[in-house]
Chain A
Amino acid sequence: QKEVEQNSGPLSVPEGAIASLNCTYSDRGSQSFFWYRQYSGKSPELIMSIYSNGDKEDGRFTAQLNKASQYVSLLIRDSQPSDSATYLCAVNMKTSYDKVIFGPGTSLSVIP
């Protein structure tokens, strides 16, 4: 089992819809979880972090964490064409010294 897994996509949603991105991780002791957005040819940009079970909202973004299921998700409401990018799930593994492990990313395309 890979340490962090995501659906590779591509995921296509119409403008204004909700985009739902999912991630699972292997290390049950992990404490910190992050979502990064990466535009083509650019470096990743941190958009959300979450540490406690439940939901965390920031503008149009909502991160959801379920540690018992080892599952993290990102919802993007009112999706815009500018949201078209690759979304990377990242986990600070308890088993590692102090590094974040990234998933392969999910490519999102928002269709006008």
Chain B
Amino acid sequence: DTGVSQDPRHKITKRGQNVTFRCDPISEHNRLYWYRQTLGQGPEFLTYFQNEAQLEKSRLLSDRFSAERPKGSFSTLEIQRTEQGDSAMYLCASRGPRDTTTGYTFGSGTRLTVV
């Protein structure tokens, strides 16, 4: 296991289309996070899973966004009816079960461009 894997690396889509991203965390990491980052800004929290349970979702996230982690392993993030404002880097991160003193390991990210 070489780290957090995200797929695809880049996605260009037309406005109004649905897109789905996948994240495979480090195998022993039970906590998984999705963030969104736009140019010149820090990563913005979207949602958090502990095992298969989605424990927190940002209030900034519209109903067009949904995330799943059905078996507590990989996770998917879907954006329905994409808008140009959804263009951003979508980052997945994971960390182990013990405590909050360990930092995240990020994947390489998925860069979404909505045209």
Contact = CB atoms under 8 A, between A and B. Distances in A.
Interface of A: 4, 8, 31-32, 34, 36, 42-46, 49, 51, 88, 90, 92, 96-105
A32 B101 contact: yes
A104 B100 contact: no
Nearest to B47: A99
Contact of B104 (A4, A46, A51): A46
B103 interface: yes
A105 B104 contact: no
Contacts of B100: 31-32, 92, 98
5 contacts: A98-B31, A98-B48, A98-B50, A99-B48, A102-B35
Bin the interface of chain B by size.
Answer: 20 to 34
B55 A46 contact: no
Interface of B: 31, 33, 35, 40-45, 48, 50, 55-56, 89, 91, 100-109
A101 B45 contact: yes
B101 A43 contact: no
Contacts of A45: 106
Contacts of A49: 101-103
Contacts of B40: 8, 104-105
Nearest to B31: A98
A31 B102 CA distance: 11
A43 B31 contact: no
Contacts of A105: 40-42
Given A31-B100, A32-B100, A97-B48, A44 B43 contact: yes
A102 B42 CA distance: 6
Contact of B109 (A43, A51, A97, A99): A43
